[in-house]
Amino acid sequence: MVIALFFTVALYPLVNWVQRRMTWCRRSLATLVVFLVRRATTRDHL
């Protein structure tokens, strides 16, 4: 639960930015885009 809360707080501004830039994008899709981009740019992902 703590990890989910951390990711919610950490990614909230970025998801809002994506949602504002891509007006056709729903919040769930914006969250997915941010998560995938973040995952792809992390060096230690498995």
Q: With beta carbons less than 8 A apart as the criterion, state whether 31 and 11 touch.
A: yes
Tokens linked to 7: 């990711």
Instruction: Identify whether 4 is part of a domain.
Output: no
According to DSSP H, which parts of the chain are helical? 2-21, 27-41
Render pLDDT for 4-17 as a digit per residue (tens, 0 to 9): 778 778 888 888 88
Tokens linked to 12: 């909230």
pLDDT at 46: 56
Task: Kindly tell me if the per-residue pLDDT of 3 is higher than 60.
Answer: yes
Q: How many domains does the chain have?
A: 1
Taking residues 25-44, what's their average pLDDT? 81
User: Can you give the pTM of this predicted structure?
Assistant: 0.59
Instruction: Identify whether 46 is part of a domain.
Output: no
Instruction: Identify whether 2 is part of a domain.
Output: no
Domain that holds residue 27: 9-40
Instruction: Identify whether 28 is part of a domain.
Output: yes
d(CA 46, CA 39): 10
Render pLDDT for 16-26 as a digit per residue (tens, 0 to 9): 888 888 888 78
pLDDT band at 34 (very low <50, low <70, confident <90, very high): confident
